[in-house]
Amino acid sequence: MQEKKKKIAILGSSGSIGTQALEVIEEQSHLFEVEILTVNKSADLLIEQAKKFRPNAVVIVDQAFYNQVNNALFDYDIKVYTGAEALEQVVTFNEVDIVLTALVGYAGLQPTISAINAGKTIALANKETLVVAGELITRLAREKGVNILPVDSEHSAIFQCLTGEYMNPIEKIILTASGGPFRGKTAEELKAVTKVQALKHPNWDMGAKITIDSASLMNKGLEVIEAKWLFNLNPEQIEVVVHPQSIIHSLVQFEDGSIKAQLGLPDMKLPIQYAMGFPERLKNDFTRFNFLDYPQLGFEAPDTKTFRNLALAFSALKKGGNVPCVMNAANEVVVAAFLEDKIGFLEMSEVIERCMDEIPFVEKPELEDYIQSDKQARTVAQRIIESV
């Protein structure tokens, strides 16, 4: 039992990971307390969370909601900030022990860099940060001696399998994928699918962006790149297997051929709790997995001819440089366009591929190059979408 509570900064406290992290903190309130909460626009929820958890500071990124939040918290001893730059500042506050990056997309990059520079432990839920700038982020973390603890369930599984195996090289990892709501569908069938169908994930209850990414297999593509940087792997060492029940969260194969897996019911609170409690395992009352409820666990190869995003992600990973950053930016634009009914499901991959071909290649990008590539890719993707 530790004496001092770990103080947590949650970037993105209104989202699926953010709200579940607050549940974990409430359940383990003898170990954790909330230091910082940030949201983009969800002012009402932020106010409610702040009154309940009494953080030292909150950030409402969208300035249009600043007065509302500031007035509501006027009688509380809680500092209120606004603007995207505020995220980069609050993560450096002295009191913060762990920064949970639960915001969506590219927006996670700069605050994560800032938190690493300040020497904070990162509980990484924002996979896009490692996709965009994995080389830069892992180099910085090494220099600063900062731990990046994965919250993504697959990467948490691999991380758990690697505990105690420090000296033993990985032969390969096997990332499991549920296959999403469209598993088994043909390209012809996918042409007509709607966002309502795409937003119905069979096993996981998540935010809109990641749910669309799961349906298109881009989520697994992003996770392949995330795994490369977290575990220092070559593309050839990363395999994806579709496992529709989402019980085996991922596996590691060692050089003797032995495979270790981590299993459990699909519940993000477990990887969130593991990252925040690391290296301790914390007692909880989450529902336990029972093999007899799952007499059949299935496995199949991913259909990368139909779901092209996974193949595009492997190609981005092999090309390296700014290509994963370009892919990620294009993907954020096409997912938003799909959610606004501006493009079809399969067109998402076409736009991403064209962006990857058109944006100039930068072999060894630094931060400015990533920022530039992200901007260019968004512009090009938008232009392609509007021309369809």
> Site residues (CB under 5 A) for Mn ion?
152-154
Type of residue at 147: N
Residue with tokens 């953080």: 55
| Least distance from Mn ion to the Cβ atom of residue 356, Å | 23
Q: Which residue has the tokens 């900062």?
A: 146
> In 3-state terms, what secondary structure has residue 42?
coil
Q: Are 109 and 129 in contact (CB under 8 A)?
A: yes
**Up-side HSE of residue 247: CA atoms within 13 Å toward CB?**
13
Min separation Cβ 327 and Mn ion, Å: 17
Least distance in angstroms from the C-beta of 162 to Mn ion: 17
Report the residue number whose CB is nearest to Mn ion.
152
The alpha carbon torsion through 20, 230, 278, 162 (nearest 10 deg) reads 120
C-beta atoms surrounding 178 within 10 Å: 19
Long-range contacts of 37-41, Cβ-Cβ distance < 8 Å, separation of 24 or more: 37/10, 37/13, 38/9, 38/10, 38/11, 38/12, 38/13, 38/86, 38/87, 38/90, 38/103, 39/12, 39/13, 39/14, 40/12, 40/14, 40/103, 40/107, 41/65
CB of 93 to Mn ion, least distance (A): 29
User: Which of 22/157 has CB closer to Mn ion?
Assistant: 157
Between 56 and 153, whose beta carbon lies closer to Mn ion? Answer: 153
Q: How far is the CB of 81 from Mn ion (least distance, A)?
A: 30
Considering the complex, state which of residue 223 and residue 303 has its C-beta at the smaller distance from Mn ion: 223
- In the complex, what is the shortest distance from the CB of residue 154 to Mn ion, in angstroms, rounded to a whole number? 5
- Other C-beta atoms closer than 10 Å to the C-beta of 232 total 10
Q: Measured from the CB atom, is 82 or 246 closer to Mn ion? A: 246
Nearer to Mn ion among residue 203 and residue 315 (C-beta): 203
Q: Residue 204: which residues within 8 A CB-CB, separation 6 or more?
A: 178, 211, 214, 246, 266, 268
Integer Cα distance of 218 and 358 in angstroms: 20
Residue number with CB closer to Mn ion (14 or 176): 176
* Of residues 266 and 344, the one with the C-beta less far from Mn ion: 266
CB of residue 152 vs Mn ion: minimum separation in angstroms?
Answer: 4
